[in-house]
Structure 1
Amino acid sequence: MIKQLKFVSIPTRDQDAALAFWTEKMGFRVATDQPMGPGQRWIELSIPGAQTGIVLFTPEGQEDRVGTFFNGSFACDDVEYSYKQLSARGVEFEGPPEKQPWGTYAKFKDPDGNSFVLSSR
């Protein structure tokens, strides 16, 4: 039976720029980086302390997904702290963290313009 979600795909135009962003600014680690078809690589990244990872790959015909909203959320213990740390590394946020009844969140963007939620309880 299914045990977990192994990875989610983040569409990208420039795999090198995306790889630099997710490793250098976000702190993820390369699990796999290998050729996959003409001009593309399969880049799988692990998130320290998590079982789920991300893949920086855009399947042919899915290019219109680049620069859209990622339908998911990256969890952290403290959004305010993470916001300050990631902002200092050059991560672009849409605004400061906001508190809601369900928790605190902040939205950030990657170099391709994809938008993500960072949240905590």
Structure 2
Amino acid sequence: MDMKLEVVVLPVADVDRAKAFYVDRLGFRLDADFPVDEGYRVVQVTPPGSKCSIIFGTAVATAAPGSLHGLHLIVTDIEQAVVALTGRGIEVEGPFRDATGVFHHPGTEHRVPGADPQRRSYGSFAAFADPDGNGWFLQEVTQRAPGR
């Protein structure tokens, strides 16, 4: 049985500000904006090339705005992705790698500046946050295990 992750709910304080950030600044596709009534609004956006969408809005999440951290956007060239986002006015930290050479620790303590020297898949990262403080990572993946 397939189980596909298709939606992540993102807690935000200001729906219009989030929509402008994700659509206008990041370049996510606007899939839907349903202003049901004054107390309920659902906005769905999708990152370029992704099969998983992001939903935010009014009364769609119980988590505090800005409390979601560790979301990953996978890119094939970390340096190019950092240039593209900074060119859109997004403040990006990185590229960096973890001191262990594996994934990354939470926080910034174990970060080593620069992409993985061998540019191994899964080893290079960059980080940014949305206007509410929800934390995102870019992760470079150029080769996946067979069958993936």
TM-score bracket, normalised by the shorter chain, equals: 0.7 to 0.9
Q: Which residue of 1 aligns with 2:82?
A: 83
Structure 1 residues 17 and 33: CA distance shift in structure 2, 3 A: same
Structure 1: how far apart are the matches of 2:5 and 2:80?
Answer: 27
Structure showing greater Rg? 2
Q: Is the deviation greater in 109-118 or in 30-39?
A: 30-39
1:17 corresponds to: 17
Q: Percent identity?
A: 31
Q: Note closer, same or farther for the CA distance 1:114–1:58 as it changes in structure 2 (3 Å cut).
A: farther
Equivalences for 1:1-121 in 2 at 5 Å?
Answer: 1-57=1-57, 59=59, 62-64=62-64, 66-93=65-92, 95-100=93-98, 101=101, 102-121=122-141
CA distance in 2, matches of 1:69, 1:21: 16
What do the CA deviations read for 1:3-50 (whole angstroms, capped 9, x no partner)?
411110111101101001101111111111112443331101122222
The runs of 5 or more residues in structure 1 that have no matched partner are: none
Structure in which a larger fraction of residues adopt helix: 1
- Structure 1 stretches of 4+ with a deviation exceeding 4 A read none
TM-score by length of 1: 0.84
CA distance in 2, matches of 1:61, 1:29: 21
**C-alpha root-mean-square deviation of aligned residues, in Å?**
2.0
1:103 match: secondary structure? coil
**Superposition deviation, residue 58 in structure 1:** 5.5
